[in-house]
Structure 1
């Protein structure tokens, strides 16, 4: 039996525990920035730069906290689907990225956060970078070193390393299935 016939289709959803942790951290950061920005503790040693930075922090952390709360309330089903054919992350697009289009799968780390990056064909990468906000995020990720389609495991039931290993396994199986070859179980382990 070939490897591509033994791999089940996977559905990965949000982890309520992880989202609650992110919500708590975001709420705490928002409240801390708000306390400094609006001078709730009546300190006199705050300069204009610190106050401006805290106003920006209130906006950014507040937005992230609201988004996390929305995910906690609205997330009922899986958001990442992995099959022998490809991977689909509904947070990015409703389109499946075929394993034949993926040139390499990397794990990228930035400040302790690991993210799975799919190196895809140039035309496919442009399709996933469509829209103003997605384009800006794609350019920002590229500037930081994550050049490709980013699949973030933050808040999911699967951690980044497991997601990376699973993607590599399905990618390898999908490539061998596409080429018509079969890979035995011992060869897959190596």
Structure 2
């Protein structure tokens, strides 16, 4: 945190752990699909292939992020909130109607509720899942600090400062 600005960058080591988890899930999926011998559950091979494909894609994304350099992923400042995984636009405070917290298995996300969400469309992969995220979290933009060097409490402290 610099003054009243919160900046989070990708953490090579945290992303490395996520990449290892992705490899483990791909291996488990391939095991379930029967690649390493007979499948433990005949007829359910599709679950293994689905798992291997999904976690393989996740692993590729994580590895790409590991080597993306030290660019900012999240920046919360006087000008607003920037979240690289959503778009290159900074969302000004005047467009943020509410900010809520969504939590799943001790992982917290910051959820932005926008006055005019159509003015801030996603230009990234996260935008493809926007409808599902909206149904799940009830907001427009979910911001996760997973895989970054940022701390949730610090981000919320800066948000509270500007939301006063």
Shared fold (TM-score, shorter chain, > 0.5): yes
Report the alpha carbon displacement of residue 161 of structure 1 after superposing the two structures with TM.
3.5
- Specify the alignment match of 2:38 in structure 1: 43
Aligned residue runs from structure 1 range 67-86, under 5 A: 67-86=61-80
The answer as to 2:121 corresponding to 1:140 is: no
- Specify the alignment match of 2:156 in structure 1: 164
SS in 1 for 2:22: helix
1:23-48 Cα distance to aligned partner (Å, 9 max, x none): 111111111111221331x3364222
1:53-72 Cα distance to aligned partner (Å, 9 max, x none): 11000110000011101111
Q: Describe the shift of the 1:44–1:86 C-alpha distance in structure 2 as closer, same or farther (beyond 3 A).
A: closer
Unaligned runs of 5+ in 2: none
- Specify the alignment match of 1:9 in structure 2: 5
SS in 1 for 2:150: coil
Whose Rg is larger? 1
1:104-141 Cα distance to aligned partner (Å, 9 max, x none): 211111243211011110x2x12334569655411101
Given the alignment, which residue of 141, 145, 152 partners 1:149?
A: 141
Contact 1:129/1:138 (<8 A) preserved: no
SS in 1 for 2:88: coil
- Specify the alignment match of 1:55 in structure 2: 49
- TM-score when normalising by structure 2: 0.86
Q: Describe the shift of the 1:17–1:84 C-alpha distance in structure 2 as closer, same or farther (beyond 3 A).
A: same
1:135-179 Cα distance to aligned partner (Å, 9 max, x none): 54111012113322211111111133332232222332xxxxxxx
Aligned residue runs from structure 1 range 80-99, under 5 A: 80-99=74-93
CA distance in 2, matches of 1:118, 1:44: 44
Contact 1:30/1:62 (<8 A) preserved: yes
SS in 2 for 1:46: coil
- TM-score when normalising by structure 1: 0.76
Q: Which segment drifts farther, 159-168 or 110-119?
A: 159-168
RMSD of equivalent CA atoms = 2.3
CA distance in 1, matches of 2:83, 2:100: 16
SS in 2 for 1:107: strand
